[in-house]
A and B are shown apart, each in its own frame.
Chain A
Amino acid sequence: MDEQTALLKTQLYAACEEACSGDPDRLFTQEDLTALDVIPPKDIKKLLQLIQILTNERLFAPVHLHSGLAWRLRPEAEAAKYKQLTSHDQVLVYEIIDAAGAEGAWQQDIKRRLNVQDNALRKALKELEAKRLVAQFTTVENISKKMWIKANIKPSSRATGGPWYTDQFLDEAFIEALQSVVMSFIKNRGSYLSKGERSARSVSPVLPKKGVINGAASEAAVKSKKRTADAISKDEALVMPAAKHRKTIRLPLPAGYIEYPTTEEITAGIQAAEVAKGQPLKQEHVQELIDVLVWDNRVEEIRMGNRIGYRAVRIAKQNPSLYSKPGDDDFWEPRSNGLTSVPCGKCPVFDLCEEGGPVWAGGCEYFDQWLA
């Protein structure tokens, strides 16, 4: 290698380093390298020679794309590690683990790809481990798999399960706690909390409806019995009970409201509340929590132009001060229907139930309890 080549090599590497400073995982194709203006444009031979040298020095890691070859830059410190490798097997194994990055490589996979003896593989891994180059870890996706990763990086969140896992186990208590934080955040930001005291004369002109509460609504809520709309229309006099119950209740916000919390805002809110100690929750994780709440039917999406906000569903049935102990913010009055209120709905012997059989309506113990 002549001096000029060595110089070019250093220049190319430096140019590459600069080009991928924003994105360490950037891949360089041959065209990309040419475009760096280090090598004379037509001198493909020179370029290939340089690539070859850099690859040999482990500063370039080749990556096979379906469009052809490309190279990823390897930091010099990383490249230096290859120098510690003493056997061919070690190099091959380390290459695979290195390429796998944060996802890690499965031992079976390495064996299959290298087509080596089990003994040889184990020996190589042991040697690498002894040199503190690789480490074994477990992924939450399959606890029984033997996974290897470079010793100096942490397993990916996919492998660790992200913030939801503590020592490979789903931290359900943690998730639940966060969920209720998200829930109450959405509830508070996405509904109007009517305090019940009515400031008769001081109604702000901007907020004409402030504090005006439907007496009938709150009364019905107190009884926690559905007083249907129809019952009211029957007898108008009933709508306005003489004694009005003033309670704190949640009301829906007017249509067109554009301040329903978005995922970003909820994430910020959680970070501000410092619920999740240790690792800060990323937006994508908060999104996962919100999605679950949507599937749970507690929260719904609402479109505000191009943004998506969230609000609680059945807001009228989520009035903490009416139903729950103080502090229990996650209250939810379940819906019921004909099949949830009849003993047959969940009856374990429903299929056997037949008049004339041993299980029948007349002798049904569940009906006994239901009617009691």
Chain B
Amino acid sequence: MLVTRNAADLCALLVNELYGQLPSVCFSPASPPVAALLARGRSNVRDLALHTSLNPKQVRHGLALVIQHNLVFYQTDHETATTTYEANPQASYHLVRVGKILDVIDRKYGTMAKNLVNDLLMLGHVEVAELVRYHRLKHSPKKAKMNGEQNHDHDHNAEFEDEDENGLEYGDPSDPFDDDSHYVNGNGIAHETTEDVTPIQANEVYDTLAQLIAAGVIESVVATMFQSPQDLKASVEQECMKEFPNGVRGAKVTTEFDTMVKSQIKAIGVERATMKRKLQESALYEPSNIKRRKLANGGMSNGFAGDSGGSILRDEPNTVVRLNFDKCLVELRNQKLTEHVEDFVGETTAQVFAALLASLCKKVYRCQHDQHTIMTEEEEETYFTGVRVTSEEIFDHLSPGVDVSTGIGSASEEDIDIRFAEKIRKYPPQIQGSHLQGTLDEGDEVLGSDDEDYDHSGEHLKGTYVNGHNGYHNSAAQNGTKLGGDHSGEGHSSRAEQLRQMRQHLLILAEAKQQFVRHCGQNEWTVDFGPLIQQLRYVELDTMIEDNFGRQGLRLTRILREKGKLDDKTLPAMALMRKPDVHVKMAEMEMAGFLEVQEVPRDNNRAANRTMFFWFFDEARTLKRVLDNAYKSMVRCLERLEVERYNKRNVLLTADRKDVQGKEEEKLRGDIYNEYLEFIEVEKKLLSQVSRLDDLVSVFQDF
């Protein structure tokens, strides 16, 4: 993550917004006496106290909280017993995505999964048994919740109702640690109030948790995760050094040493993934099964037999788990990519793409990696060789409500050349710096031998054309899933026909300039995330340029991006623009940092008219600048929110009273309630803007 001053401010604000003032102090470089970890690098408690004007006790309390949420790394030197702390800016930045993550988990893995993730965000790392206990305490149905839960789109206040009953005090010391037997005996809060609703069963929670761990959304925590990746490597190296009492000298020994370090680091990766692997091996927890079950029962079911992942977890109640933001980021990336397809191609195609991503990303646990990323072998394999899925797998992931017969125009058969449509590309396109224009075409040349290669399965399927499939709507309520293959009724297409139609969408995606999909083998599909995201960066950049400088500004930038450096004589002719107009536009864009200019003097006079000006597009610099602008804009939105809060402080103070919270409409006087609603509206606008800016940051940096 690029840590600029603005980024550091942002992290501090985010921690402050969610976890409170004291933890954020450890981050904030905003005011001079505050020694921020971000500003100062690693520090110990004494340094922090000195620089923050807090006493050590306060600092320690703050640190305890941020360690709990893994917002800092620490490293203890056992010789001196001093511990140094180091900010983990990426983890703090992830907080901006909390809302989106909860939402995407809700849709992909169900409500209970979302609640579990919510609990993990509340608790930080926590033992499995404690998490389950907490979950049941918090999310068991209660009377208050019954009327509030449904209409959350209109009034999210209603959602809070389930929190205020016991939200004030979590972990009441008198509340016994109930495992099931306790619970059944009836001393939980949930019990007294719920005749008609069954309380959440512990094994249900364990099962969902097991699914989430298997999917990688939740990961088990080991001590090494609290060390920064650099520290971890250093300490591994130190340990390894002990095996070489004579020092590491010479090529042979160095190689031995390196191999040892590598294998140790790999062992750490294995250690981290132990639980995940164990759960994945119990085949029931293949993510596809989760989905299938969800579809079948309209929710997570608890009625299946076998040695469930839940019982594996139950046997290890002290496993410590936390949310894995890397995997969440993968889910968010899928969401963003789907939005892009919807924008570029259309809605039905986007649905098909979503299904492709869902099945493709089962085994994708992170978007990016660097030298410090510790990956298991399984991960490395999927990461470097790429994963691929078949049409059938995609079809199984398709939402049953999607009508794949829509969204594509028709053309007579003689206008379609199946060899182009079904062309197979075995190798991913090269990322060609800023010249992405040519990706598609040049890729073809490189793969000359591939040209003749196309997927013939499309031809076979042609025979199965079915007419009169119009008006086909597979109702989710009726059939639950398409897998049954029992659509014999009139107006229902056969599975083969639907599959053929779905393939059409995939082919369109593969043909698109952006190359959303690569048709990588007979009936096999993959997505080259790297080049695709790179394309999206340009899309976002172009969007901003067009918005800022109009269509002509965009034209000029794109000419430069394609042609490299150009002088101001050639440019107007290519752009079909008047020379003065070009100059004005170029100067504007140069001042805003979207273009760079290079001066080449023709003689020693250094006069403007004896100088050639070459314009060019510096991608790296532009991206950096845009990224920092996005951070700064997010900071401004959050600061504005703070000011709005200050302006409405009296209203908010009242609304935050414990007897009012969750019942604002009922308890607040009319005018105050209206003011409160106004504030909620403002807050929504600002927070959603922050979230949109984060979309941009994600595309530019994290996806």
Within 36-66 of A, Cβ neighbours of B (below 8 Å) are at: none
User: Which residue of B107, B406, B507, B547 is within 8 Å of A230 (Cβ)?
Assistant: B107
Q: A217-B348, A335-B343 are in contact. Are A361 and B637 (CB under 8 A)?
A: yes
Q: A316-B345, A344-B629, A360-B639 are in contact. Are A164 and B576 (CB under 8 A)?
A: yes
- Cβ-based interface call for B369 (8 A): no
User: Which residue of B470, B574, B639 is within 8 Å of A200 (Cβ)?
Assistant: B470
Contact indicator A297/B542 (Cβ below 8 Å): yes
- Cβ-based interface call for B7 (8 A): no
Contact indicator A205/B467 (Cβ below 8 Å): yes
**22 contacting pairs across A/B (C-beta < 8 A):** A198-B471, A200-B470, A201-B468, A203-B467, A203-B470, A209-B408, A229-B339, A230-B104, A230-B107, A237-B401, A240-B401, A255-B511, A257-B415, A258-B416, A291-B574, A292-B576, A296-B555, A303-B441, A304-B420, A335-B543, A335-B546, A350-B629
Within 5-32 of B, Cβ neighbours of A (below 8 Å) are at: 30
Q: Residues of B contacting A234 with CB < 8 Å?
A: 106-107
- Cβ-based interface call for A167 (8 A): no
Contact indicator B693/A254 (Cβ below 8 Å): no
Q: Residues of A contacting B508 with CB < 8 Å?
A: 252, 254-255
- Cβ-based interface call for A305 (8 A): yes
Contact indicator B410/A217 (Cβ below 8 Å): no
A163 vs B307: C-alpha distance when bound (angstroms): 78
Within 646-691 of B, Cβ neighbours of A (below 8 Å) are at: 646, 682, 685-686, 689
Contact indicator B399/A209 (Cβ below 8 Å): no
- Cβ-based interface call for A77 (8 A): no
Top 7 closest pairs, chain A to chain B, by CB: A192-B409, A256-B421, A236-B401, A255-B507, A362-B643, A214-B406, A338-B693
Within 460-505 of B, Cβ neighbours of A (below 8 Å) are at: 465-471, 473, 475-477, 504
Contact indicator A314/B344 (Cβ below 8 Å): yes
Contact indicator A337/B696 (Cβ below 8 Å): yes
Q: How far is the CB of A191 from chain B (nearest CB, A)?
A: 6
**What string of 1s and 0s marks CB contacts (under 8 Å) between B383-416 and chain A?**
0000000000000000111110111111111011
Q: A200-B470, A232-B351, A342-B693 are in contact. Are A362 and B639 (CB under 8 A)?
A: yes
User: Which residue of B411, B562, B693 is within 8 Å of A257 (Cβ)?
Assistant: B411
Q: A295-B554, A337-B696 are in contact. Are A259 and B107 (CB under 8 A)?
A: no
User: Which residue of B349, B422, B465, B639 is within 8 Å of A361 (Cβ)?
Assistant: B639
Contact indicator B695/A229 (Cβ below 8 Å): no
Q: How far is the CB of A106 from chain B (nearest CB, A)?
A: 15
Contact indicator A216/B639 (Cβ below 8 Å): no
Q: Residues of A contacting B578 with CB < 8 Å?
A: 169-170, 172
**What string of 1s and 0s marks CB contacts (under 8 Å) between A300-323 and chain B?**
111111000000011111000000
- Cβ-based interface call for A358 (8 A): no
User: Which residue of A175, A192, A236, A350 is within 8 Å of B399 (Cβ)?
Assistant: A236
- Cβ-based interface call for B539 (8 A): yes
A292 vs B413: C-alpha distance when bound (angstroms): 32
Q: A207-B412, A230-B338, A362-B643 are in contact. Are A255 and B420 (CB under 8 A)?
A: yes
A342 vs B634: C-alpha distance when bound (angstroms): 9
Q: Residues of B contacting A227 with CB < 8 Å?
A: 347
Q: How far is the CB of A350 from chain B (nearest CB, A)?
A: 7
Q: Residues of B contacting A256 with CB < 8 Å?
A: 416-422, 507, 511
Apart from A175-B576, A259-B411, A362-B646, 12 more pairs, CB < 8 Å: A217-B407, A229-B350, A230-B104, A239-B401, A255-B422, A256-B419, A296-B555, A313-B513, A317-B343, A341-B692, A345-B548, A361-B643
Instruction: Bin the interface of chain B by size.
Output: 35 or more
A205 vs B642: C-alpha distance when bound (angstroms): 63
Q: A303-B440, A337-B696 are in contact. Are A344 and B633 (CB under 8 A)?
A: yes
- Cβ-based interface call for B577 (8 A): yes
User: Which residue of B413, B626, B635, B642 is within 8 Å of A206 (Cβ)?
Assistant: B413
- Cβ-based interface call for B444 (8 A): yes
Contact indicator B410/A192 (Cβ below 8 Å): yes
The chain B residue with its CB closest to the CB of A294 is B558
Q: Residues of A contacting B418 with CB < 8 Å?
A: 256
A220 vs B351: C-alpha distance when bound (angstroms): 14
A228 vs B692: C-alpha distance when bound (angstroms): 14
Q: Residues of A contacting B64 with CB < 8 Å?
A: none
Q: Residues of A contacting B475 with CB < 8 Å?
A: 240
**What string of 1s and 0s marks CB contacts (under 8 Å) between A209-223 and chain B?**
111111011001000
Q: How far is the CB of B101 from chain A (nearest CB, A)?
A: 13
A232 vs B398: C-alpha distance when bound (angstroms): 12
- Cβ-based interface call for A346 (8 A): yes
- Cβ-based interface call for A194 (8 A): yes
Q: A232-B351, A258-B416 are in contact. Are A339 and B629 (CB under 8 A)?
A: yes
Contact indicator A240/B473 (Cβ below 8 Å): yes
- Cβ-based interface call for B342 (8 A): yes
Contact indicator B416/A257 (Cβ below 8 Å): yes
Q: How far is the CB of B20 from chain A (nearest CB, A)?
A: 20
Contact indicator B405/A212 (Cβ below 8 Å): yes
